[in-house]
Amino acid sequence: MNVDPDWALYRTLLAVLDEGSLSAAARSLGLTQPTVARHVDALEAALGGDLFVRSQRGLDPTDLAHALRPQAQIMATTAAALVRTASGTLGAVAGTVRISASDVVGVEHLPPILTCLKREHPGLVIELTLSDRLDDLLAREADIAVRMTQPTQTALLAKRLPSVEIGFHAHRDYLDRRGTPVDMMDLARHDLIGYDMETAALRAMAERLAALDRRGFALRADSNLAQLAAIRAGFGIGLCQTRIARREPVLVRILPEIALPLPLWIVMHEDLKTSARFRAVFDALTAGLAA
């Protein structure tokens, strides 16, 4: 390598890897396709190797491109965190804060909390990323995370909230059609809503409940929000948060003696605790979710 490539070239490389083509990368970056092509050519010239090979499928990344991807992603995450940090005024509750949460928490719980927070602090800008993936707070993929598992990383400020109770629920229309199960054996004869891809947490849950067998699910979805929507639509019986179901009289608790506690944590990097805006958002999420 004769020169240090500009960060913009690595950003373009990452976009082409993510999007799979020059044209799609150009749209995502707001550039023209010739500009993206020039960026790739310039980076290849600086690195002294090919990054992509053209094939009938389009652009195939080379081993060099795959090797650069993790570092390019770190650069992108760091750059985004730098912009968020610089967006605020020192000592003021203003600027951008990125929150990571599961889809159910982000859709069912956070909107009213964030609405009150925005009314109190009009200068705040919230970025909300919804995923069950645990964003890396140390790498600043997010500033604050709402997690359903205990954080294991060091250098994190974590607040445990009361556990969220999970139970079996169904729409009243479904129960009118199919009847209400009286025990786990009876439950297994119903249309069950459950997961598709098994994880360690789900395996541990399945060990406690014999009915949680993927082979017996009438609808499989890894999105908890999709499962909740199916319960609301009357598709069948599934697990959801009891605090959500209590809002809707048409949702009926099935086998109420079965309750699965789900831990709830609010987490952020400890370096952010002295920042007024990050602390304000952390405290608002803690109070709102604990209420």
The pLDDT of residue 107: 95
The pLDDT of residue 265: 92
4 falls in which pLDDT band (50, 70, 90)? confident
232, pLDDT greater than 80: yes
Give per-residue pLDDT as tens, 84-107.
777 666 677 888 899 999 899 999
137, pLDDT greater than 70: no
Sequence-ordered list of residues with C-beta below 8 angstroms from that of 226, at least 6 positions apart, any chain = none
56, pLDDT greater than 80: no
| Token reading at 72 | 């390019």
pLDDT, mean of residues 121-146: 81
48, pLDDT greater than 90: no
210, pLDDT greater than 70: no
The pLDDT of residue 220: 94
The count of C-alpha atoms lying within 13 angstroms of the C-alpha of 229, restricted to the half-sphere facing its C-beta, is: 10
- Using DSSP, state whether 108 is helix, strand or coil: helix
**7-84 shares its CATH topology with 163-260:** no
| Token reading at 179 | 């009847």
The pLDDT of residue 150: 81
The pLDDT of residue 273: 84
The pLDDT of residue 205: 67
The domain limits of the chain are: 7-84, 86-161+263-290, 163-260
Share of the chain above pLDDT 70, in %: 90
| CATH tag for 163-260 (out of 3.40.1480.10, 3.40.605.10, 3.40.190.10, 3.30.70.3270) | 3.40.190.10
| Token reading at 281 | 């958002």
CATH number of this structure's domain 86-161+263-290 = 3.40.190.10
69, pLDDT greater than 80: yes
The count of C-alpha atoms lying within 13 angstroms of the C-alpha of 118, restricted to the half-sphere facing its C-beta, is: 11
201 falls in which pLDDT band (50, 70, 90)? low
Give per-residue pLDDT as tens, 169-195.
999 999 999 999 999 889 989 999 998
CA distance 239 to 227: 8
The pLDDT of residue 84: 73
The pLDDT of residue 211: 66
For the chain, the average pLDDT equals 87
Fold of 7-84: Arc Repressor Mutant, subunit A (1.10.10)
